[in-house]
Structure 1
């Protein structure tokens, strides 16, 4: 008897890299003196850039699947994204404010650090929900070939998607790095996020109405 093909997990590997990006930014800000705010602000922009790119990928490929297969889960995920987007926009405003007043107001850096940690906490719960609630439910209701086709479409549309893992290789196990074809060194610059971090819902998308 042949072994069943491995289940296609849409979330875990990119989420590992996203967690690493946000944690790195939080550690950078936490270790920053007021006169080093520019470097800290850049790290925050890079982390939010990773979040924005990932959110755009989910909206383009995973959200339509959720709307077809798990409409209630689609509503919950959309609401979590909405709340995260508002939190991220707040962090961006706080980052810009800290850039404007530090080092004259040293407390601005600490305020940015705490705001980023609150975002990290909210994001961790969101990623865990997608991995431990949404993905297992998708496995139940979605034929394996449909997940395979989704991944093939994603890779065709975004051949550079593995750059996320090249930026954060230490977030993955060695077997996972081999699976996505990356080494151990980070060689790819992260995207810089300036504006709102979560795309607006598509026309006709399922939303909570809240």
Structure 2
């Protein structure tokens, strides 16, 4: 049975969405009405999400890490200081973009693009520390039951809609086998709502990913759609 990894899947989802945001910001035509505001809002929403994610880690993971491996926890604390500076710089650039005169928009867009990529660079380094320093320390000093309890506590803190949103952000970035295992567990926990739950969490998958998921679960794609319509 695979070891419990508190970071792997959610970090894969974050990487995929950060890279997508960088590509789409870099290629966006922000000369159209409202486009600059849309791109700025996407950047601000991302930094807000990443700050909330850091709060979740502090609440549910890093207390245990500080108790068992304080040096690893100290390394993460140092990373947070660097990350906060990158988040703030990106937010400042994003907030100024919508009010930029039309003739200055290309340069302002590129400046925001650079700030976003600087933040991504800092964030990738942070993820690397969590995955190669913090998680191995937890595997060494905490039991599987304790790591399982961390997962359970976090899940209990999320509303049903928050939990579905978490899955929609994460599932497209995962390989087929772990994606199917996660969804199998989710729909197995609510057998009376299995079809509607499956339909709800698979909305962000590509057609090929969705087809593979249904195939791995052993259900026809029309099953979840039909069940969802009946709810």
TM value normalised by structure 2: 0.73
Alignment of 1:28 with 2:24, yes or no, is: yes
Name the SS of the counterpart of 2:99 in structure 1. Answer: helix
Counterpart Cα distance in 1 of 2:157 and 2:41: 28
Counterpart Cα distance in 1 of 2:150 and 2:179: 21
Counterpart Cα distance in 2 of 1:67 and 1:143: 15
> Counterpart in 1 of 2:221?
none
Counterpart Cα distance in 1 of 2:108 and 2:11: 29
Give the structure with the higher percent helix. 2
| Cα 1:169–1:143 shift into 2, 3 Å | closer
Alignment of 1:8 with 2:4, yes or no, is: yes
> Counterpart in 1 of 2:211?
none
Counterpart Cα distance in 2 of 1:108 and 1:92: 13
Counterpart Cα distance in 2 of 1:161 and 1:81: 25
Q: Tell me if structure 1 keeps the 8 A contact 2:65–2:73.
A: yes
Q: Tell me if structure 2 keeps the 8 A contact 1:28–1:43.
A: no
> Counterpart in 1 of 2:92?
93
Counterpart Cα distance in 2 of 1:126 and 1:55: 11
Counterpart Cα distance in 2 of 1:69 and 1:127: 20
Deviation at 1:67, TM superposition (A): 0.9
Counterpart Cα distance in 1 of 2:23 and 2:115: 13
Unpaired runs of 5+ residues, structure 1, are 188-210
Counterparts in 2 of 1:1-210, with a 5 A limit? Answer: 5-35=1-31, 36-106=35-105, 107-159=107-159, 160-181=162-183, 183-186=201-204
Deviation at 1:168, TM superposition (A): 4.5
Counterpart Cα distance in 1 of 2:9 and 2:177: 11
Q: In the comparison of the two structures, how many residue pairs are matched?
A: 183
Larger Rg: 2
Q: Tell me if structure 2 keeps the 8 A contact 1:162–1:180.
A: no
> Counterpart in 1 of 2:227?
none
Name the Cα RMSD after superposition: 1.9
TM value normalised by structure 1: 0.80
Counterpart Cα distance in 2 of 1:180 and 1:57: 20
Deviation at 1:141, TM superposition (A): 0.8
Deviation at 1:102, TM superposition (A): 4.5
Counterpart Cα distance in 2 of 1:115 and 1:102: 19
- Larger relative CO (CA 8 A, sep 6+): 1 or 2? 1
Unpaired runs of 5+ residues, structure 2, are 184-197, 206-231
Structure 1 runs of 4+ aligned residues shifted over 3 Å read none
> Counterpart in 2 of 1:195?
none
